[in-house]
């Protein structure tokens, strides 16, 4: 065992090496952002080599003999709880990285970079067959990756753990099953109600006006210009660090409500990233807990704030000013919350049917990875499940199986975190409401700092110090559960639809 005198040096040495790996990974993220937002179309051959080289360099740092030695020495030391959590997180990352050959890491990075323009073109051309070979290649690589990490485990469970490391896949399965069991009857009941809820935006709204509204909305919520920027992308996303957290959105001239929702969603991601402790940049304590927690922040701001009556009452004048519209707060609230199962696009889905989109993707991904579904048959199975779960069949693959960017990224196992995050958001928001005096009045007045401060104190500032369930329990007093979301959905939508 290392002597007490060597403990600080060993721990500091471990952190120094880990920070280097983090910086390389963050540089790769900037290149990926550039590829999706600004890079010329012809830049892919070089960009794929660049991101592959960075992935290999990061892997070299994490799997070197010096890194392993520093990790073992730090583990042997009698460290305080905080430092033990850091070492725990680094150990988990090292164990997974050390089992995967560098050549495979580089190949996955290169193929995902190459896949992006292929996906964009296939979507534009409504041609799944043009993208299918790339999906098949990425599936093979990801199966190989999962087998290296744990040859005896369900490959989907191994991949899911890349995005949610501390909640077992069985937890995700139980949550998805409960959402299906509880929400489908509620959705059916709402659909049977004769209602005059309608979308008051029946014209077209230029992208420039919508971009101005998105910029104004971000400013209203407190998004700092000096630490971020807004751009457009084929699929909205957020990326960055606690010093530079960027957001993207997209626009449909006939649906300004959708663009506003996606912008607020990405703001939620960015505000989590910016809330991570700056002094811990590069260490596990300066990194997000996982994508379930990350999605809880985006879904909380999108749904519990952005779709709430108080927020809309305070924001409706800005909406009308930028769009040249004259909708009432009530009309905007109804438009933001109405249920429409016949929508094919996940990112435009309402708050309830959204989860049917996730279940569909989850089932298809599991079947693909298990070899129970051929890639060529994805469009047919996708459309059958859309009809089964939502009563609608996409007219094109562009609004069906080609709509999401995730498979171009090789992100198999990602989708369940969206529903886990939605469920977690309701639990966290309940706790915030209990702690913040008259939160509705504050939201109506555009005073978001109390909620932002609560989330920073209870979620953001901890980074990866706590495992997922412990983080939720510390913030809310209870273990992670879907109870709050089910109660919230039932009360909100029965009230809105008058049943």
The string of pLDDT tens digits covering residues 393-447 is 999 999 999 999 999 999 999 999 999 999 999 999 999 999 999 999 999 999 9
CA distance 450 to 462: 18
CA distance 467 to 469: 6
Other CB atoms closer than 10 Å to residue 334's CB: what's the count? 20
- DSSP helix/strand/coil, 171: helix
The string of pLDDT tens digits covering residues 63-80 is 999 999 999 999 999 999
Q: In the block, which residue shows the tokens 């927020």? A: 311
Buried b (16+ CB within 10 A) or exposed e, 288-302: bbbbbbbbbbbbbbb
CA distance 141 to 105: 9
The string of pLDDT tens digits covering residues 359-369 is 999 999 999 99
Strands (E) located in 51-133: none
- pLDDT at residue 9, rounded to an integer: 84
**Mean per-residue pLDDT, 471-499:** 96
Position 5 pLDDT exceeds 80: no
What are the structure tokens assigned to 245, written together? 């957290």
Residues in Cβ contact with 379 at an 8 Å cutoff, skipping those fewer than 6 apart: 128, 397, 400, 401
The string of pLDDT tens digits covering residues 13-59 is 999 999 999 999 999 999 999 999 999 989 999 999 999 999 999 99
Is 140 considered catalytic here? Answer: no
CA distance 157 to 152: 11
- pLDDT at residue 295, rounded to an integer: 98
First to last CA, the chain: 66
- pLDDT at residue 341, rounded to an integer: 86
Q: In the block, which residue shows the tokens 């707060």? A: 329
Ramachandran region of residue 498, left (φ > 0), alpha (ψ -120 to 50) or beta?
A: left
- DSSP helix/strand/coil, 38: coil
CA distance 121 to 85: 44
Position 6 pLDDT exceeds 70: no
DSSP string, 392-421: ---SSSTTTTTS-STTTTT-TT-THHHHHH
| H/E segment holding residue 238 | strand 238-241
From 266, 334, 348, 365, the catalytic residue: 266
Give the β-pairing of 244-249 and 238-241: antiparallel
- pLDDT at residue 194, rounded to an integer: 61
Other CB atoms closer than 10 Å to residue 477's CB: what's the count? 10
Which residues sit opposite 62 in a β-bridge?
none
CA distance 82 to 489: 37
Mean pLDDT of the chain: 95
CA distance 190 to 184: 10
What are the structure tokens assigned to 208, written together? 């420039």
For the chain, what percent of residues have pLDDT higher than 70? Answer: 98
Position 202 pLDDT exceeds 90: no
Position 137 pLDDT exceeds 80: yes
What are the structure tokens assigned to 369, written together? 């990875």
CA distance 458 to 471: 8
For the chain, what percent of residues have pLDDT higher than 90? Answer: 93
The string of pLDDT tens digits covering residues 243-269 is 999 999 999 999 999 999 999 999 999
Backbone angles phi, psi at 238, to 5 degrees: -130, 145
What are the structure tokens assigned to 438, written together? 């008259």
pLDDT confidence of 309, banded at 50, 70, 90? Answer: very high
- pLDDT at residue 10, rounded to an integer: 87
**Mean per-residue pLDDT, 447-453:** 98
CA distances from 451 to 64, 160, 360 (A): 43, 30, 33
- pLDDT at residue 8, rounded to an integer: 63
| H/E segment holding residue 41 | none
pTM score, whole prediction:
0.95
């Amino acid at each position: 065992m290392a002597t007490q005198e060597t403990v600080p040096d060993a721990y500091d040495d471990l952190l120094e090496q880990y920070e280097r790996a983090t910086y390389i990974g963050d540089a790769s993220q900037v290149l990926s952002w550039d590829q999706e937002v600004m890079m010329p179309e012809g830049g892919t051959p070089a960009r794929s080599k660049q991101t592959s080289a960075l992935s290999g360099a990061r892997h070299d740092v994490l799997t070197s003999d010096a890194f392993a030695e520093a990790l073992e020495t730090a583990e042997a030391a009698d460290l305080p709880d905080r430092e033990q959590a850091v070492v725990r997180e680094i150990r988990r990352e090292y164990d997974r990285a050390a089992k995967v050959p560098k050549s495979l890491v580089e190949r996955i990075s290169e193929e995902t970079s190459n896949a992006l323009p292929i996906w964009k073109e296939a979507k534009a051309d409504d041609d799944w067959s043009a993208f299918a070979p790339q999906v098949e290649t990425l599936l093979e690589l990801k199966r190989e990756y999962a087998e290296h990490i744990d040859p005896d485990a369900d490959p989907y469970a191994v991949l899911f753990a890349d995005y949610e490391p501390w909640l077992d896949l069985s937890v995700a399965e139980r949550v998805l099953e409960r959402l299906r069991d509880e929400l489908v009857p509620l959705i059916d009941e709402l659909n049977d109600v004769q209602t005059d809820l309608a979308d008051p935006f029946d014209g077209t709204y230029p992208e420039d006006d919508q971009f101005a509204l998105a910029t104004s909305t971000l400013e209203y919520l407190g998004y700092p210009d000096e630490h971020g920027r807004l751009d457009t992308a084929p699929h909205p996303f957020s990326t960055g660090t606690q010093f530079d957290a960027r957001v993207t959105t997209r626009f449909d001239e006939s649906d300004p409500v959708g663009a506003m929702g996606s912008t607020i969603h990405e703001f939620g991601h960015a505000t989590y990233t910016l809330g991570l402790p700056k002094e811990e940049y590069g260490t596990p304590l300066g990194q997000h807990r996982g994508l379930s927690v990350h999605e809880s922040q985006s879904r909380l701001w999108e749904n519990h704030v952005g779709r709430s009556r108080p927020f809309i009452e305070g924001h409706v004048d800005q909406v009308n000013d930028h769009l040249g519209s004259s909708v009432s707060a009530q009309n905007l609230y109804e438009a933001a919350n109405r249920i429409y199962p016949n929508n094919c696009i996940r990112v435009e889905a309402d708050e309830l049917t959204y989860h049917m989109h996730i279940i569909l993707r989850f089932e298809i991904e599991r079947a693909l990875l298990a070899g129970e579904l051929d890639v060529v048959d994805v469009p047919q199975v996708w459309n059958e499940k859309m009809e089964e779960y939502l009563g609608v069949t996409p007219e094109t693959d562009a609004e069906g199986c080609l709509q999401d960017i995730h498979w171009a990224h090789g992100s198999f196992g990602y989708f369940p975190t969206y529903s886990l995050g939605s469920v977690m958001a309701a639990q966290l928001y309940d706790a915030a409401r209990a702690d913040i005096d008259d939160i509705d009045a504050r939201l109506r007045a555009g005073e978001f700092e109390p909620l932002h401060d609560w989330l920073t104190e209870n979620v953001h500032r901890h980074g990866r110090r706590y495992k997922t369930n412990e983080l939720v329990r510390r913030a809310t007093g209870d273990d992670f559960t879907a109870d709050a979301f089910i109660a919230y959905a039932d009360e909100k939508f029965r009230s809105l639809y008058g049943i």
